[in-house]
Amino acid sequence: MVFGWGKKKQEEKPVEETPQTKSISLNDVERIVTDLEKLRESQTVSEINHLRNNTAPLIDDLIKVGKMLEKDTLNVDDIDKHLAIIVVRGKKQVINMIKKGVVSLPEVSSIDNAKKLDNSLNQILKKVGDVLGRQTRVIHIFAKKYATQLKDNLEVMNQNHSDIHDILQNYENTKSTSSEIIATLKKIDNLKSTKMEKTQKIIDTNNELESTKEHISSLEKSIEEIKSSDEYKKYLKSKKSLELFENEKSKIKDEINSQFTKISRPLGRYEYASSLDKDQKNILTKLVENPFDILIPQNKDSVILILENVRKGIVSGSISVKDVDKTLSQITETEETLDGFISQVSKYFEKYQQMSDELDSLRSEKLTSLESEFTKASENKGDLQLKSETFQAEVDEIDSDIPKLVSEIEKKLRLFSNTKYTVLMS
């Protein structure tokens, strides 16, 4: 059974006041927060000290009640012997609890003192509540004259303790909000510092970009001058001649391929059935796939040896063909055209090399160097443009984030100030 003093008094709804409005600089926020926190601390200590002073006489009253109860016989001689034992035991528990558990309240001159008071009062109320809860029948039936006094006394003490606890909690919330505002200010300072760094990087990057553009323009002009010269025109003419001459390669390849295609089947079968050394194996493979590439004087004997071995394979039957005589005739025909093919290929490569050397002699080393430099400068230009855009995007993001953080500060200031602050960033 509950003793009956735990209910709080109904709180009155505060009258809403229209808040004052004030514009402040972002630089003033930390000072204002510090001042408000100190003011709230002073108010908190003052309010709790007032509650402490209102509660202290109630502590004294509890002690007096204990002393009076200790002297009161409660007329136990007039009741049943067994019931009297219960009443005496309950009375003794209440008296012992008051003697040991009800202590003087600490003085309050700081937040730490206030916290000690909150803890001390909580312990007193808990101990008193536990004992009176267990002995509620004894008190209400056999010590009625003390019950009402205890109930009224403890009800006020409990309400005072609740108010003290709420005031301390509000102070802690204020302190937490203050810390959050200070942290947000540091975040804004960091963002401003970062913005300055990024802005400087944009300036440096754009300066480098302009310098690179000027360099590219200069390179283009120098390249154009070289390309308008007679020497470069000779180079282009020589290059065109070489490109046209390269078409001769296709004609020779077609002629050679046409001849070797006639014996491609027996060559292919010989490739799988033969056991040649590495060089000959490579020549045989090329004869099947692209004979142009290996028809050079130093390979002539190896090619003839392969063709003769194919011939022997056909005659012996180890390489099967549909028409033996026709295939042998085509091998002979190939061997007879071999010198002509090798000569054509050699002359082609000799002429090609001659024309390439002539082209190289006409090629401008300065132009090559300028074009290489132009390519690098163009790539650098793209990198610088991307870098500048990236830095600008980061600055834009900071410009978007700072007002949001300032808005957060305004909301938090409203939590523990009657003034509605508008924070100006400039």
pLDDT tens digit sequence for 125-164? 888 777 776 666 656 554 566 677 778 888 898 999 999 9
- 399 DSSP 8-state letter: H
- Residue 330 burial (CB count, 10 A): 18
Instruction: Quote the crossing angle between the two packed helices 111-134 and 81-101, to the nearest 10°.
Output: 180
Whether the model clears a pTM of 0.85, i.e. scores above it, the answer is no
Facing residues of 422 across strands? 23
Name the pLDDT band for 363 (thresholds 50, 70, 90). Answer: confident
Q: Is the model more confident about 189 or about 425?
A: 189
Report the distance separating Cα 334 and Cα 338, nearest Å: 6
Report the distance separating Cα 174 and Cα 33, nearest Å: 10
Report the distance separating Cα 175 and Cα 14, nearest Å: 23
Give mean pLDDT, residues 212-230: 93
Could you tell me the two tokens for 327?
A: 């295939």
Could you tell me the two tokens for 54?
A: 């209102």
Spatial CA neighbour of 136 closest among 93, 75, 73, 103: 93
| Cβ(378)–Cβ(223) below 8 Å | no
Q: Is the model more confident about 245 or about 206?
A: 206
Give mean pLDDT, residues 408-424: 88
- Reported as a single tens digit per residue, the pLDDT across 259-284 is 988 988 888 888 776 666 777 888 88
Q: Collapsing DSSP states into helix, strand and coil, what is residue 326? A: helix
Name the pLDDT band for 43 (thresholds 50, 70, 90). Answer: very high
- Minimum mean pLDDT range among 15-24, 140-149, 293-302, 365-374: 140-149
- Minimum mean pLDDT range among 71-80, 130-139, 335-344: 71-80
Domains of the chain by start residue, with CATH: 20-178 (1.20.120)
Q: Is the model more confident about 90 or about 347?
A: 347
Q: Does residue 209 register a pLDDT over 90? A: yes
Mean pLDDT score of the chain, rounded to an integer?
85
Q: Does residue 106 register a pLDDT over 70? A: yes
> Identity (one letter) of the amino acid at 263?
I
Q: Does residue 367 register a pLDDT over 80? A: yes
Name the pLDDT band for 124 (thresholds 50, 70, 90). Answer: confident
| Cβ(110)–Cβ(88) below 8 Å | no
- 21 DSSP 8-state letter: E
DSSP states of 55-121 = HHHHHHHHHHHHHHHHH--TTGGGS-HHHHHHHHHHHHHHHHHHHHH--PPPP-SSHHHHHHHHHHH
Express as a percent the part of the chain with pLDDT over 70.
85
Give mean pLDDT, residues 160-172: 93
| Cβ(121)–Cβ(157) below 8 Å | yes
Q: Is the model more confident about 368 or about 384?
A: 384
Give mean pLDDT, residues 172-189: 93
Spatial CA neighbour of 303 closest among 360, 348, 260: 260
Spatial CA neighbour of 90 closest among 112, 110, 72: 72
Report the distance separating Cα 39 and Cα 240, nearest Å: 91
Could you tell me the two tokens for 294?
A: 């290996």
Which of 26-40, 92-106, 312-326 is the most confident on average? 26-40
Report the distance separating Cα 138 and Cα 352, nearest Å: 125
| Cβ(271)–Cβ(288) below 8 Å | yes
Which residue pairs from 325-330 have beta carbons closer than 8 angstroms and sit at least 24 positions apart in sequence? 327/263, 327/266, 330/262, 330/263
H/E stretch holding 54? helix 29-71
Facing residues of 22 across strands? 421
Q: Does residue 1 register a pLDDT over 50? A: no
Name the pLDDT band for 83 (thresholds 50, 70, 90). Answer: low
Express as a percent the part of the chain with pLDDT over 90.
45
